[in-house]
Chain A
Amino acid sequence: MLPFTYALRNLFRDPSRLAQTVGGSALVVLLLIAAVALNEGMDSVLSASGSSKNVILVGKGSEESIERSEVHLDAESAAATSIRGLDGRLGTTAVSGEIYYQAPLETESGHKDQALLRGVLEKALLVHTKVRLLEGYFPGPGEVMVGHLAHRKLGVDADELSPGMPVKFGDSRFIISGVFAAPGTVLESEIWFDRNDLATLTQRDTLSAIIIRLDSAELDDVQVFSLQRNDLELAAMGEDVYYSKLGVFYQPIKIMTWVTAALVSAGALFGGLNTLYAAFAARIQEMATLQSIGYTRFALLVSLIQESLLATLTGTLIACLIAYFLLDGCTVPFSIGTFTLTLSPQVIFTGLITGSLLGTIGTLPPAFRCLLPPLPKALRSA
């Protein structure tokens, strides 16, 4: 075998080629890391948003979209009294009738953007158990409570959505009463209104959905209730099932992410391969000389792979560092919430595997082209 230092020194033969190989592999790895982190982030926020202990009651035929759903106000008390085995605290059953609405919201600076609004009463905290108040208090009339990532969804500074600051919905002005967290869920991007305020503003006399938290009861019990109360025209589904269905809805976006990453990566990959072809083609005679001395083609291939791996893994390291400083912890808004990009072990592992494959499999075509010509011909090559 050739000494490792031979591969190491070959790297620095042509600094511009080295920069191209390292830069190309860094770009490919960074794009894949970003694509995996985006998909993981979206999957994770959707799966964390739905609890298997929660059941959603929506209007029949509106199972695909809670926003379009209409549920009679009476259904809330009917569910709370008719279904046995629901969770609850201090005599209050964990049944929360809620209104969902998407509308433009204006902040103090005049910035106006589409916001996710939820009209709730205090018992919403019994069903949304991940919600924790970070500061302030639960909103009363004329007040709102904001998720701590709502500013990302609205595209404003966090300071604009801090307690005491005003927001405008239409011509009505509301004061922010508190900020809440609901780690890893879409709730963190929402703005919670007093339910009656939101009903008035949106001129609704119905709810969008009723969230029920189960204790000993099961989904079947809620479904039986929805069938028994045929007059209320309800459909019951697990909250986790609802969010996993939303995941399917976002599948095209995920595919587009992969396609974009793949297209840009393909460009960088072919650029990198071209660089390797040029780098190795210039050394056909040198490889032939080493073969004439007695080095096998396998030994030379190993050396070429070592050389490429050094470059691509350097690129991978750079990509991981860029991802760590620029992507890790970054919040990405999407239509129903915001998710956080995380450099999980799986994401880093994907980057490492990609960098290693670029350095090994990517090296094979140019290396074969360099090592396969008959020795007499290769020795005469310029």
Chain B
Amino acid sequence: MSFISIRSVTKSFTKGKTTITPLEDLSLDVTKGEFLALMGPSGSGKTTLLNLVAGIDSPTHGELTIDSRNIAGLSRAELTRWRAKHVGYIFQLYHLVPILSAYENVELPLLLGKFSKSERKEKIMAALDLVGLTDRAHHRPSELSGGQEQRVAIARAIVHDPGLLVADEPTGDLDRESADSILALLNQLAGEHNKTIVMVTHDPKAAASAHRTLHLEKGQLIEQNLQS
């Protein structure tokens, strides 16, 4: 059974008098623990698809089921509550809160749950350990390198143990070495921790590290590549 099931999803919005349809009648299945890369030129709809899967946006038409829950009809408030439990979002520019330490940034998703301080500490240190940054726990984002910041962002995305990770060009702002280590980490999360990962990327090498790559153009799936 699919972890993510997308059926005839269309997303359109109006800008002035023009209706723009970045995604049209798209169907897709992603299995649990799969690492999926989305590629395509600018305006192809890959970020729109990522936002739909992450519950950041809602489709205009169609069904979008994630882990057996149809999220297509949820309100903004319901989507917010759903995201808090089920999704970890990794951004290209990390989006860490600059006034908080790495530890406090990672703690943010846990503050939405009913965890004691000691439980939170245990989970945060486990997440930071997984990304190899326990020694940087009390550093502010400005005191970390780009690769380290992205690792903190990944720790923040996984600390509350969501089933789904979405990553919007997570290596787009990193040097090759840092990018490779982040991709290895994402692979580890999919392989060893059974996280389902959907990643948007322009980088073919990043896409090659995923289990499967989908190419989009003008809101349509045009090609699928399965990596060995």
Interface residues of A (CB under 8 A from B): 1-3, 6, 9-10, 12-13, 285-286, 289-297, 374-376, 379
Are B95 and A9 in touch, CB under 8 angstroms? no
B21 an interface residue at 8 Å Cβ cutoff? no
Q: What is the distance, in angstroms, from A9's C-beta to the closest C-beta of chain B?
A: 5
Q: How far is the CA of A290 from the CA of B112 in the complex (A)?
A: 11
Are A294 and B95 in touch, CB under 8 angstroms? no
B83-91, B174-182, B219-227: which one contacts chain A? B83-91
Q: How far is the CA of A10 from the CA of B100 in the complex (A)?
A: 10
Q: How far is the CA of A368 from the CA of B190 in the complex (A)?
A: 38
Chain A residue with Cβ nearest B99: A9
Are B57 and A294 in touch, CB under 8 angstroms? no
Are B56 and A3 in touch, CB under 8 angstroms? no
Are B99 and A376 in touch, CB under 8 angstroms? no
Residue with the highest number of chain B CB atoms closer than 10 Å, among A290, A291, A376: A376
Within 8 A of A (CB), among B153-188: 156
Q: Which of A1, A294, A375 contacts B81 (CB 8 A)?
A: A294
Chain A residue with Cβ nearest B56: A375
B77 an interface residue at 8 Å Cβ cutoff? yes
Are A292 and B89 in touch, CB under 8 angstroms? yes
Main secondary structure of the interface of B (DSSP, over half): helix
Q: Which of B80, B98, B109 contacts A291 (CB 8 A)?
A: B80
Q: What is the distance, in angstroms, from B132's C-beta to the closest C-beta of chain A?
A: 22
Query: How many residues of chain B get a CB closer than 8 Å to chain A's CBs?
Result: 25
Residues 132-169 of chain B, each 1 if its beta carbon lies under 8 Å from chain A, else 0: 00000000000000000000000010000000000000
Are A376 and B56 in touch, CB under 8 angstroms? yes
Known A-B contacts A289-B91, A376-B51; the reply to A294 vs B77 at CB < 8 A is no
Could you say which residues of chain A place their CB within 8 Å of the CB of B54?
A: 292
Could you say which residues of chain B place their CB within 8 Å of the CB of A292?
A: 54, 56, 83, 87, 89
Q: What is the distance, in angstroms, from B217's C-beta to the closest C-beta of chain A?
A: 20
Q: How far is the CA of A277 from the CA of B70 in the complex (A)?
A: 38
Q: How far is the CA of A6 from the CA of B107 in the complex (A)?
A: 12
Known A-B contacts A3-B111, A293-B89, A294-B80; the reply to A10 vs B99 at CB < 8 A is yes
Q: How far is the CA of A129 from the CA of B95 in the complex (A)?
A: 74
Chain A residue with Cβ nearest B109: A293
Could you say which residues of chain A place their CB within 8 Å of the CB of B74?
A: none
B130 an interface residue at 8 Å Cβ cutoff? no
Could you say which residues of chain B place their CB within 8 Å of the CB of A376?
A: 47-48, 51, 56-57
Contact sample, A vs B, 24 pairs, CB 8 Å cutoff: A1-B111, A6-B100, A13-B99, A286-B95, A289-B89, A289-B97, A291-B80, A292-B54, A292-B83, A293-B84, A293-B89, A293-B108, A293-B109, A293-B112, A293-B156, A294-B81, A294-B83, A294-B84, A294-B85, A295-B84, A375-B51, A375-B56, A376-B51, A379-B91
Q: How far is the CA of A3 from the CA of B105 in the complex (A)?
A: 12
Are A290 and B108 in touch, CB under 8 angstroms? yes
Known A-B contacts A2-B111, A13-B99; the reply to A296 vs B77 at CB < 8 A is yes
Could you say which residues of chain B place their CB within 8 Å of the CB of A3?
A: 111
Are B95 and A285 in touch, CB under 8 angstroms? yes
Could you say which residues of chain B place their CB within 8 Å of the CB of A296?
A: 77, 80-81
Q: What is the distance, in angstroms, from A134's C-beta to the closest C-beta of chain B?
A: 59
Chain A residue with Cβ nearest B162: A294
